[in-house]
Amino acid sequence: MAENELRHGSMLHLSGEGVVSLTAAVSDRYNRLIGDFQRIKGSALQVPKDMIPDYQRFMNLIRRYKKNDMRHTDAEARSLKTIAQWTLDINNAIRNQPAEQLDCLKNE
């Protein structure tokens, strides 16, 4: 990671409508996935250890938005997309559906 990114990677940026909408959708899907996973698999949904930092940044973003502070860091935006893809992957896996990539990640 470049020194400039380390220094400025935690700067807060005003969140656009797309980031706010994606955050709300992923939060809703994640909350539904917790119950669906328990019901279908009979065990609690666990975030993989290598994704815990992404999950923590995602939860920080949600807490900030709940306080009506609509800003995010670059790291939180990346983590949001990671958690979004992971929830889609798990949701498809527990329903025996093929994997798919989120539209917002196709050009990356």
Q: The dihedral of CA 25, 97, 89, 35: what is its sign?
A: positive
Query: Domain map of the chain by residue range?
Result: 15-97
Q: Tokens at residue 8, please?
A: 């400025």
pLDDT in tens, 9-51: 689 999 999 999 999 999 999 999 999 999 999 999 999 999 9
Amino acid at 10: S
Q: What is the pLDDT of residues 53-102, one digit of tens each?
A: 999 999 999 999 999 999 999 999 999 999 999 999 999 999 999 988 88
pTM listed for this prediction: 0.86
- What single-letter amino acid sits at 92? N
pLDDT at 104 over 60: yes
Amino acid at 107: N
Q: Between 65 and 105, whose confidence is greater?
A: 65
